[in-house]
Structure formats: structure tokens, C-alpha cells
Amino acid sequence: MAGDPNQFEMFNRLLDEELAEAEHAALQEVLKEDAAAARQLAYMQRLDRLLRATPLASPSSDFTRRVMGAIAELELPEQIRRRMGIGIALGLAIAAILTVPVLSALLIIIARTVLDPQSLAALLGTLSGAASTLWGLGGSLADALNQVVFETPVVPALMTTAIPIGMVWAWLVWYLLGWPELLANRQRL
Amino acid sequence: MTVSEESDALLVHLTLEGDQQAFEDLVHRYERDVFNLTYRMLNERGEAEDAAQEAFLRAYSNLERYDVNRSFKTWLLSIASNHCIDRIRKRRLTWLSLEEPLPPHPALTSDTPNPEQATLENERNVVVQALLDNLSPDYRLAVVLRYWYDLSYAEIAEMLDTTESAIKSRLFRARQALAGELESQPASVLGPVLEGS
């Protein structure tokens, strides 16, 4: 019986109280002649009683409070995620609605401009004028900066001090807002 | 659907509408079931509480995916089971620091008012945990789900994404291995534990 492939089925069903009366009687007959199987079954039945008698283990008394505390910590990024999700969906919907008319209008304007020599010349003139104005502005700004830096050496010193201080402030704000903990919570999930 | 399952579905619905108290009620209702599973699987109270908390957090974060036609308890237990299996896989050998405070004796935190019964329960618990610890995680999980939650083979198979016959085979082999372990224990250890069962 110990090597019988049906043994596990019969023992399992016996332990699960699913054996019919006739099957139970037949099994008892077999066990009378197979001491090893009978011994094994006896230990399995002891084990079965032991497991059934062991109650559910309980967590500590403040378990629910701790779980709800952890959930409260999760809430902020969760709300942000949900709001961002809604924002992205709205943005995409608006973009989809606007795409066809805006693109059509743009194509019409481009086609009219390219096909009309006068408009094309005016557009090129405007573009080159804007480019030269920007170039001039950039040059003037560079000259002004050059003068300030070389005439007042305190400026570069202030800048080199302001950058690390700014970084420290940024880290402090990030830390005080609790972002490291929120990130850790998200990673845990 | 039972009254409890209907009430679970209502609490889930209220939670999704933003009612935190509803989820707190669910945690309170199932904390013992979830903790028992993580404790039987991990065999360490602190780690088991962490794992149980994690299971509830995962359930909360994925509540939108919960199918109300399924049992909430079974869904929750399957989250806890998967998490325990992950933890066991990742588990590394750790040393208990002598500076860490030891957990209180289970008899001190037991709900049982009678100290003698609490002691017996504790001894039984120690024997059961030692027996379970010898099983592979898959076998242990099948035993835990069958004995403490009275789930059918079909329900366990669905939870563990396998077949009913695989669960039957796993459970028999687990019972066989545990019975062998029980047989090898000295009678002086088992006597009082088995007497009460």
C-alpha cells in the first residue's frame, strides 16, 4: 500500500473526510495487512488534528493603525498620479480636437505664402530683420556682461558661492517636503 | 455571494469613492487572516507584520483591479501569498543582533485569558512552525491555505495559478513529510501538544 499510486488520493480523501463508507471500510481492510501504511496514516491523522487545533495567529494590537498610517503616506503621490492622469487625458483630448483645424490652417497659410511672391519676400525680409535684431541684442548683452564681470570681480565670486548654496537649499526643500520617503514608498510597491 | 462578501464589495466600493474608513474596516476584518498567512509562511513575527502590511498596501493601490465577483478575502490572501513567496526567494541569511529587543513571549500577547492554555497554545505553535519550516514554500503554502482557511482544492489551485491535481499531490506530499517529521520528534515534546488537539 505504501507504494500504491492511489495511496495519496485515498489518504487525502480520508483526511478531508470525503471517503464514502464503503471506501473507508475497504481502506481499513487494506491497512490491517499493511502495518507501515497504517503507521504512516496514524501520524498523518495526528498531524491533521494538530494543525486543525492550532488557531490563527494575531498581529499586534496597533496593526490596523499602522497600515492606515502607511496608506496616508501613500495618499499624496497617489493623488498627484491620479490628477496627472486626468490632466494628461484632458490634454491629449484637446490636442486631438485641435490638431485637424490647426494643421489645416497652418497648411493653408504656408501654401498661400509660398505661392504668392510678394508675401514670400515680405516674410523673408521679416525673418532676416528679426534674426539680425536678435544677433545685435545678443552681442550687446555679451558686451554688457563682459564689462560687469571684468570691472566688478565680486560678481564671479558671488556666483560661485550662490551655486552651492542654491543646491543645498534645493536639497533641503526636497527633503523637508518628504519626497525621499514618498519615493521609497513608491519603490516598495 | 455571502453577506460578508456583499459587505466586502460595498466597503471596496466606498474605498474607491475615497472613504478611508471603509478600507480601515476591511483591514480590521482581515488583519488576522493575512497576518496568520504571512506568519506561517515566514515564521518571524516582525517580518510577518511587515509582509502583512505590504499586502494591504498592495491591495489598496490595486483596488481598482479587484473583481467584485471574486471573494475579497481570497484576493487578499493571494496577494499576501505571492508577496511571501517573493520574500522567501529574496531572503538572505541574517543574524539576530543582540542589541535588538526580543519580541514578547507569545503567551503575553495571546488573546487567551487562561495562562495555562496560552502556554499550551504557544508550545503547539512552536511545534507547528518548526514542522512548517521544513517544507518548501510551495508545499507550506498549500498546507496553510488548506488548514487555516479551509479553502477547497479548486480555490487553492486558482489562487496559486495551478491545477487541482497538482495541489492534491502537493498537499499529500506535504502531509507525508510533516507526518515523518512528527514521527521523529521525541514523545516528551509532542505529548502535551498532541493531547490538547
Query: Between B25 and A144, whose confidence is greater?
Result: B25
Residue type (1 letter), B82: N
pLDDT band at A183 (very low <50, low <70, confident <90, very high): low
With an 8 Å Cβ cutoff, the interface of chain A facing chain B consists of 8-9, 11-12, 15, 39-40, 43-44, 46-60, 63-64, 66-68, 70-72, 74, 78, 188-189
Quick one: pLDDT band at residue B40, thresholds 50, 70, 90?
A: very high
Q: Enumerate residues 6+ apart whose C-beta is below 8 A from B3.
A: none
Question: Quick one: pLDDT at residue A4?
Answer: 65
B180 touches chain A (CB under 8 A): yes
Instruction: Tell me the pLDDT tens digit for each residue of A69-93.
Output: 999 888 766 666 666 777 888 888 8
The set of cell numbers assigned to A146 is: 563682459
Confidence of residue B94 (pLDDT cuts 50, 70, 90): low
Decide if pLDDT at B107 tops 60: no
pLDDT reported for residue B37: 96
CA distances from B98 to B95, B101, B102, B112 (A): 9, 8, 9, 30
> How many whole angstroms from its chain centre is CA A31?
58
Across the interface, do A63 and B53 touch by the CB < 8 Å criterion? yes
pLDDT at A97: 84
Examine the pLDDT at A13 and tell me if it is beyond 80.
Answer: yes
Residue of A nearest to B121 (CA): A54
Mean pLDDT lowest for which of B7-11, B87-91, B173-177?
Answer: B87-91
Q: Rg of the Cα trace of chain B?
A: 18
| Of residues A27, A51, A30, the one with CA closest to residue B175 | A51
Residue range B147-185, pLDDT digits in tens: 999 899 999 999 888 999 999 889 989 998 998 888 887
ipTM over 0.90? The verdict is no
Cβ contact, residue pair A56, B148, below 8 Å: yes
Give Dmax over CA atoms of chain A in angstroms.
Answer: 112
pLDDT category at B24 given cuts 50, 70, 90 is very high
For residue B90, the number of C-alpha atoms closer than 13 Å in the C-beta half-sphere is 8
* Distance from C-alpha of A165 to C-alpha of B51, rounded to nearest angstrom: 41
Mean pLDDT on B52-70:
93
- Name the strand (E) or helix (H) holding A184: helix A179-188
- Please report the pLDDT score of residue B194 as a whole number: 65
B26 — contact with chain A (CB < 8 Å)?
Answer: no
Top pLDDT among A111 and A149 is at A111
* Share in percent of chain B as helix, strand, coil (round to 5): 75, 0, 25
Q: Given an 8 Å threshold on Cβ–Cβ distance, is B128 in contact with A50?
A: yes
Chain B contact set for A74 (CB, 8 A): 57, 60-61
Instruction: Enumerate residues 6+ apart whose C-beta is below 8 A from A184.
Output: none
Q: What is the structure's pLDDT at B111?
A: 55
Q: Do B125 and A54 touch (CB under 8 A)?
A: yes
Q: Report the pLDDT averaged over residues B59-69.
A: 92
Judged against a pLDDT cut of 80, whether residue B101 lies above it is answered with no
Residues of B with CB below 8 A from A64's CB?
24, 27-28, 31
Asked if the model's pLDDT at residue A51 lies above 60, the reply is yes
> Of chain B residues 74-93, which have a CB less than 8 A from chain A?
none
Q: Which residue has the cell 501520524?
A: A43
- What is the distance between the alpha carbons of residues A83 and A85, in angstroms, rounded to a whole number? 5
In this predicted structure, what is the pLDDT of residue B83? Answer: 95
Mean pLDDT of chain B: 84
Q: What is the per-residue burial (b if ≥16 Cβ within 10 Å, else e) of A16-51?
A: eeebeeeeeeebeeebeeeeebbebbebbebbbebb
Separation CA A57–CA B122 (nearest Å): 10
Residue A114 banded pLDDT, cuts 50, 70, 90: confident
- Of the candidates A106, A168, A66, the one whose C-alpha atom is nearest the C-alpha of residue B46 is A66
B197 touches chain A (CB under 8 A): yes
Q: How confident is the model at residue A184 (pLDDT cuts 50, 70, 90)?
A: low
